Chain A
Amino acid sequence: MSYLVKLQHFEGPLDLLLHLISKAKVQIEDISITEITNQYLDTLTMMEQFDIEVASEFLVMAATLLHIKSCILVPKAKQEFEGDQEDTDPRQELITRLLEYKKFKETGNKLKDREAYFSRSYYKLPEEIISMDKKEIIPTDLDIASLQEAFLNLLNADRNKNRKKIQLVHEIKRDPVTVNEKVNQLKEYFLIHSQTTFFQMFNKNYDRDDIIVTFLALLELLIDNFLDVYQNHPFGDIVIKRRA
């Protein structure tokens, strides 16, 4: 059993820092980098413990904090020239960013109230005004019969479509003659005849299945070297000879 702990959601590292600062009840300008860095890192560890993926931005901020901390700890090299002696606070950049971010965060909240109020105002769509400039095109060669025809065509098209849809169960029929049976038939045939052509082998009422089965049987017999087959020209009738 695992426990689900709901942590406050932070918009980003700056948001988290502001939260920590307000919890510590200090002014942004007076933050102690050491303390804030520790708390910040603690929060990240906690987030990881609770299985929250820590976004890379949070890690960048952690590095920034550590960098500032190290700047404070390391004693400054003495400035050679007095003119260059700007005593910059390493925290300054971070403080500026935090102050800037805080302004927008708070203003965002102010905007939220405005939006909540003004979004309850409703507008209407423009009137649909049919333009009278363009004359409607009225075909002249129409009568009631063509309208009926058009309607029936539509109905039939629809019905055919529906019929196709209804046919969910399709029966697969067993082949009337199997290839093996056909092979035997052909062997018997060639006991009597020595030569024939492909289309001569069919009676008048043949269908596509017949042709396919016969053709496959023919191929079987070719493999067995029982027959010789040739065509006089492409797509012409196939001459079939029994091998001597």
Chain B
Amino acid sequence: MDEREMMGVIESILFVSGDPVNVKDIAQVLELDVRIVRKLMNKMCDCFNFERRGLQIVAVNDTYQLATRPEHGEYVEKYIGRERVQSLSQASLETLAVIAYKQPVTKAEIEEIRGVKCDYVINTLVNRGFIHEVARMDTPGRPILYGTTDHFLRSFGLASLKELPPLKSE
């Protein structure tokens, strides 16, 4: 099997899956080393971008997923007659920022930074799949420690947490 054929197989798998596919699963199917697959995937992503195809491969935390390009969003939305979804509120964004940079973090710590109660916002973010419970803190009351999800990374165009913009004020 040459490289082009492997890429073809991977593209088929990504199409059928719809959901993000872990690099390990691809490696297993192709009977290849994970590192080789990772390289192949990088090449594929570049290839898709270079050819300016309608689909792109979204890489998040060692998983890959086919998606339409955001720059074509306008036309896709026109076709499906979808109105722009309401963007996140100021409160949600602030809370999400605190969680993204401080994770794992408890509700109390978030409230300390924001200076307001955050129960409702945290609930909203959990329901929208941006954050989830990652562990419990080993202190009295065993408070929930929150962290961001892969869905968060995908929605914000980040391949991993390392790609978060630096936290600083102008």
Contact = CB atoms under 8 A, between A and B. Distances in A.
B29 interface: no
Nearest to A118: B157
Contacts of A105: 94, 97
A103 B169 contact: yes
Interface in B35-80: 56, 58, 65-74, 76-77
Contact of B165 (A55, A61, A107): A107
A19 to B, nearest CB: 12
A154 interface: no
Contacts of A187: none
Interface in A41-74: 55, 57, 61
B115 interface: yes
Interface residues of B, number: 46
A90 interface: no
Given A104-B98, A107-B165, A115-B87, A121 B116 contact: no
Contacts of B66: 123-124
Contact of A14 (B19, B58, B114, B165): B114
A121 B73 contact: yes
Contact of B93 (A111, A117, A119, A129): A111
Nearest to A99: B169
A104 B109 CA distance: 13
A120 B85 CA distance: 9
Contact of A111 (B73, B96, B113): B96
Contacts of B97: 104-105, 107-108, 111
Given A11-B116, A99-B169, A126-B17, A118 B101 contact: no
Interface in A119-176: 119-127, 129
A112 B94 contact: no
Given A11-B94, A109-B93, A126 B16 contact: yes
B16 A127 contact: yes
B165 A110 contact: yes
Contacts of B67: 121-123
A11 B91 CA distance: 6
B14 to A, nearest CB: 10
A107 B167 contact: yes
A14 B16 contact: no
B117 interface: yes
A120 B155 CA distance: 9
B21 to A, nearest CB: 10
Contact of B156 (A104, A111, A127): A111
Contacts of B101: 104, 107
B72 to A, nearest CB: 8
A8 to B, nearest CB: 11
Interface in A4-40: 9, 11-15
Contact of A97 (B58, B71, B115, B167): B115
A108 B167 contact: no
A116 interface: yes
B138 interface: no
B90 interface: yes
The 10 closest A-B pairs by CB, nearest first: A120-B73, A12-B116, A108-B93, A118-B157, A126-B18, A14-B115, A108-B97, A120-B70, A108-B94, A122-B68
Given A14-B114, A104-B97, 7 more contacts: A55-B116, A105-B94, A116-B87, A120-B77, A123-B66, A123-B68, A125-B18
12 contacts: A9-B90, A13-B115, A61-B115, A101-B114, A104-B101, A105-B97, A116-B87, A117-B157, A118-B70, A121-B58, A122-B68, A123-B65
